[in-house]
Amino acid sequence: MAILRGMSKYESHLDMCFSALGDPTRRMILERLARGEASVSELAAPHDMALPSFLEHLKKLEAAKLITSNKQGRTRICELSPDAFTPVRDWLTEQNAIWEGRLDRFNDYINNLVQERNK
Amino acid sequence: MAILRGMSKYESHLDMCFSALGDPTRRMILERLARGEASVSELAAPHDMALPSFLEHLKKLEAAKLITSNKQGRTRICELSPDAFTPVRDWLTEQNAIWEGRLDRFNDYINNLVQERNK
């Protein structure tokens, strides 16, 4: 049960990561933050959007642990989480391993066929 | 205009990819297909879900070009697109390059500081 709970937590973190990345405004924010930390108003400037909608985007990125933010005086500063993309990258690596395992098995199968033929 | 249209098309393909990946059922389908092609009923079997809901998931994966499907007789066979994850991987690589560029600049900055001090 603990493992299941742990898994579903991992699942929902991955869900939040991928869903957060599925929006061009949010990806632009991440691209900006990859260049260095920025205040909310700096981040909002290039986007033609009401502030409350923009803050919603930041909230989704923060919930997915892709960014962190903290107040410095009256300004809120955002930065990219250092291992923001690790869960996504890990998932992709896993898929790749499954896919390559499949190609390896296919190769073995062909090699066996060829050996059988040449006997 | 053509470039803008091209870009927004690219954007929306990435949007569809990431959004499609933000769901555990859809990721399970992809994991299954990474092992080899499968019919719709084989894919649906492990999921406790009405068929129309399950087909919606397949439709989203196909719209995002993560999978393809074709009819063989009365059976619809799905398979993983060979470069399903290329757009997602490319975007991550780009982010990494930006991030590392930033670390390089920071390194240069520190090295300069140290050299100035030692003069």
Q: pLDDT tens digits, residue range A18-70?
A: 999 999 999 999 999 999 999 999 999 999 999 999 999 999 999 999 999 99
The CATH number assigned to the domain holding A24 equals 1.10.10.10
Q: What is the residue-wise DSSP string for B29-64?
A: HHHHHHT--EEHHHHHTTS-S-HHHHHHHHHHHHHT
Q: How far apart are CA A2 and CA A8, in angstroms?
A: 10
Interface test with B, best of A17, A83, A88, A94 (most B CBs within 10 A): A88
Q: Does residue B11 sit in the same domain as residue B33?
A: yes
Q: Does residue A102 sit in the same domain as residue A51?
A: no
Q: Please answer yes or no on whether A11 and B24 come within 8 Å at the CB atom.
A: yes
What residue of A is the nearest CA neighbor of B104? A35
Residues of A within an 8 Å Cβ radius of B:
11, 14-24, 27, 30-31, 34-36, 80, 85, 88-89, 91-92, 94-96, 98-99, 102
Q: Does residue B21 sit in the same domain as residue B77?
A: yes
Contacts of B14 in chain A (CB under 8 A): 22, 24, 27
Q: Does residue A21 sit in the same domain as residue A66?
A: yes
Q: Does residue A59 sit in the same domain as residue A18?
A: yes
Residue pair B26/B20 in contact (Cβ under 8 Å)? The answer is: yes
Q: Does residue B13 sit in the same domain as residue B51?
A: yes
Residue A2 has pLDDT above 50, yes or no: no
Its ipTM equals 0.80
Residue A11 has pLDDT above 70, yes or no: no
**Selected residue with higher pLDDT from A29 and A104:** A29
Predicted confidence band at A1 (pLDDT cuts at 50, 70, 90)?
very low
Shortest CA gap A32–chain B (Å): 9
**Selected residue with higher pLDDT from B3 and A88:** A88
Q: Please answer yes or no on whether B24 and A15 come within 8 Å at the CB atom.
A: yes
Q: Please answer yes or no on whether A24 and B11 come within 8 Å at the CB atom.
A: yes
Q: How far apart are CA B118 and CA A17, in angstroms?
A: 45
Angle at B88 between CA B28 and CA A69, to 5 degrees: 100
Q: Does residue B7 sit in the same domain as residue B63?
A: yes
Helices (H) and strands (E) in chain A, counts: 5, 3
Q: Does residue A73 sit in the same domain as residue A98?
A: no
Structure pTM?
A: 0.81
Q: How far apart are CA B14 and CA B62, in angstroms?
A: 13
**Long-range contacts of the stretch B43-51 (C-beta < 8 A, 24+):** B43/B78, B49/B25
Residue pair B83/B68 in contact (Cβ under 8 Å)? The answer is: no
Give how many domains chain A has, as a whole number: 2
Q: Does residue A45 sit in the same domain as residue A73?
A: yes
Residue pair B80/B30 in contact (Cβ under 8 Å)? The answer is: yes
Identify the domain containing residue B59 by its residue range: 2-82
Q: Does residue A9 sit in the same domain as residue A39?
A: yes
Q: Does residue A67 sit in the same domain as residue A91?
A: no
Residue pair B83/B6 in contact (Cβ under 8 Å)? The answer is: no
Range of lowest pLDDT (A33-37, A113-117, B26-30): A113-117
Contacts of A96 in chain B (CB under 8 A): 85
Residue A108 has pLDDT above 50, yes or no: yes
Residue B72 has pLDDT above 70, yes or no: yes
Residue pair A34/A80 in contact (Cβ under 8 Å)? The answer is: yes
Q: Does residue A58 sit in the same domain as residue A90?
A: no
